[in-house]
Amino acid sequence: MKKIFLLTSILACVAFANPYDQCVACHGANGEKAAMSGKSKVIKDMTKADFIAAMKGYKDGSYGGSMKGLMKVQSDKLSDAQIKAIADQIAK
């Protein structure tokens, strides 16, 4: 019983974690950094629609320059709802 409770607790924490947390290291806490030594756009300056289109483009391989491969791995971890949540939190 304790194992089931522990597993449920861990899954709940993972499910409710902020999806932007995986982005902070490169893009900054508020999307203010141009990641990878200026190779990326500043997320906070993007519109929500542009951010969502970029993330979906990374996922399907239709968007991105030199960061395309790296961002595909990151975007594949996110659902459409999580991408929208990040856009609502960070983009303008």
Annotated domain spans of the chain: 19-90
Per the CB < 8 A criterion, the answer to whether 71 and 58 are in contact is yes
Q: Where are the alpha helices (DSSP H) in 1-92?
A: 2-16, 24-27, 35-38, 48-60, 68-75, 80-90
According to CATH, the topology of domain 19-90 is Cytochrome Bc1 Complex; Chain D, domain 2 (1.10.760)
Three-state DSSP class for 50? helix
Q: Report angle CA 51, 55, 61 to the nearest 5 degrees.
A: 140
What is the reported pTM?
0.78
Phi/psi at 81 (nearest 5 deg)?
Answer: -65, -40
Give the model's pLDDT for residue 66: 80
Q: 71 or 11: which carries more pLDDT confidence?
A: 71
Reported as a pLDDT band with limits 50, 70 and 90, residue 8 is very low
| Residue 6 confidence (pLDDT) above 90 | no
Share of the chain above pLDDT 70, in %: 83
Tokens of 1: 């019983």
